[in-house]
Every structure is written in C-alpha cells, then in structure tokens.
Amino acid sequence: MTARIALRGVAKQFGAKQVLRGVDLAVQPGESLVIIGGSGTGKSVTIKCILGLIRPDAGSIKVDGREVTGLKGRALADHQARFGMLFQGGALFDSLPVWRNVSFALSGSVASRRAAAADNLARVGLGSDVLDLRPSSLSGGMQKRVALARAIAARPEILFFDEPTTGLDPIMADVINDLIRTLVTDLKITALTITHDMSSARKIADRVAMLYEGSIIWQGSRDELDASGNPYVDQFVHGRADGPIKMPLRTL
C-alpha cells in the first residue's frame, strides 16, 4: 500500500539551528497518527514542510506517492487544497460571522454555503443559533468547535491538527479530543496531529511517533506507549523531570 504521506530524510535548518535532522515517517490512508514531542522540537515545522509552507533543505516528502517538495503556483495550491487544518489558536476571522468562517473554502450560493455551515456545525455539536454570531462572542471551547467545523467543511482527504487542545481547560480539551476522534473515524479522513499533550495523543492516535532532537526516535501503536521500552518516550509520557531528555535552560 502506498502511504498517504511519506517523509524520508527531511532536514531543515534555520540559521545555525538544525531543527529537523532527517525525519522518516509514514502515515497510511485512513490512519490517525500523532507526533509527540516537547516545545520547539520542530513539530510545526514538520507539518509546514508537508504543506509546502516551508521548503526542507534535504529529503523527500510524498503524498500518495507523488513528490511534493518544490511545488509552486497552481500545483502547490492544488496540493494545499487537499488538507484541512486546525491550527494552534484556531485562527478564526473575527470580522466574519461564524457561518462565513465555516464555509470560507466553499463555493456556491449563499444559501447552500449557509446550509453547509449549519451541517458542519451540527457535526461538532453546535446549533444554528451560532451561525450569525461573531467568533469573539463565543467561549474558547465553542471557538475550537467552529474552527473544527471549518477544517472539515471542504471534506479534505487529510486533516492536520496543530496542538488542538492548547488553551482549553481539561474537560473541554477532552470533549475536543473525542470530537476529533469521531470526525476522523466517521469521515474516514487521514489525520496527522502534533501535540505535547499526552491525553490528546491517547484519545486521537492509532499510532504515535516521537520527535526528539530532529528525528523520529520511536513509533508504535497507542497501546504500546506505556511499554515502549524507550527511556525518552517513557519520560515524556509520564512527564518526569528526570530522564535522558535534556531541556535547554532557556526553555525552563
């Protein structure tokens, strides 16, 4: 089976800082893969490379077997149109009402886009009473739901979630994790999530990969997380201060 997404030896340096040092990773069609790793380890850079927002210095990135590094213009836009994204912070347009945010990437009449917005909002547990509200008048959890509705509205083949629960309280985070899992399963979407939140990883993942010092140092099924036999994974999973993972002083 051709992987939906396959990275080989992906490297990226910013100035003197080597962020990615040869990332090898595959996501199979319909699979939900979660990349875990500490802050600043290059998780967001990895998905930006896949999206073609950042060009890696070396390595190959294939989507459905086709090389996507170096795409430009129309080919790059077509590539990016295959992805739905939920970015850290949600990034809703506050000058637009909720329904226009959700239907942003859709074409068609106002009536059909409004109906599509209502349909996608229902999938994330929101009623049509929010259609005409401004995002800023909603709670943080509701804003996340709206952002999630927008991410799925165009029925993308692949969904990216960048720290989907950041800024939410633990209960709301759990609701969002459950929603992501349900959407990914129901819509049969391939999902790549990056997070440092282990409860998120446990809820969302079929498989987990850990990024550390610029490469994937372990991967396995969600059920293997607790018995990985890898001291780095073990330290991260249990959130211990002591262990092989060295925190640069400036990040403490």
Rg (CA), the chain: 18
Choose between 37 and 156: whose C-beta lies nearer to ligand ADP.
Answer: 37
CA 125, CA 121: separation in Å to the nearest integer?
6
CA atoms within 13 A on the CB side of 145: 25
Choose between 39 and 136: whose C-beta lies nearer to ligand ADP.
Answer: 39
Other CB atoms within 10 A of residue 91 CB: 13
Query: What are phi and psi for residue 49, nearest 5 degrees?
Result: -65, -45
Minimum CB–partner distance for residue 54 and ligand ADP (Å): 7
Minimum CB–partner distance for residue 147 and ligand ADP (Å): 18
| Burial class for 224, CB neighbours closer than 10 Å (0-12, 13-18, 19+) | middle
93 belongs to the binding site for ligand ADP (CB under 6 A)? no
Residues lying near Mg ion in the complex (CB under 5 A): 44
Minimum CB–partner distance for residue 28 and ligand ADP (Å): 23
Which of these, 172, 174, 180, 152, lies nearest to 83 by C-alpha position? Answer: 152
CA distances from 199 to 30, 93, 128, 178 (A): 21, 29, 30, 11
What does 42 interact with, of ligand ADP, Mg ion, none (CB < 5 to 8 A by kind)?
A: ligand ADP
Choose between 23 and 45: whose C-beta lies nearer to ligand ADP.
Answer: 45
How many residues belong to the site for ligand ADP (CB under 6 A)?
Answer: 10
Choose between 39 and 107: whose C-beta lies nearer to ligand ADP.
Answer: 39
Q: Determine contact, residues 155/78, Cβ cutoff 8 Å.
A: no
Tell me which residues in 119-138 interact with ligand ADP (CB under 6 A): none
DSSP 8-state class, residue 245 = P
Choose between 44 and 143: whose C-beta lies nearer to Mg ion.
Answer: 44
Choose between 99 and 218: whose C-beta lies nearer to ligand ADP.
Answer: 218
Choose between 23 and 152: whose C-beta lies nearer to ligand ADP.
Answer: 23
What does 136 interact with, of ligand ADP, Mg ion, none (CB < 5 to 8 A by kind)?
A: none
Task: Name every residue whose Cβ is closer than 8 Å to that of residue 119 and which is 6 or more positions away in sequence.
Answer: none
Diameter of the chain measured on Cα atoms: 58
Minimum CB–partner distance for residue 68 and ligand ADP (Å): 18
Tell me which residues in 22-81 interact with ligand ADP (CB under 6 A): 37, 39-45
Residue whose pair of structure tokens reads 């073990």 in the numeric block:
234
Minimum CB–partner distance for residue 196 and Mg ion (Å): 8
Closest-CB residue for Mg ion?
Answer: 44
- Residues of this chain that interact with ligand ADP (CB under 6 A) are 14, 19, 37, 39-45
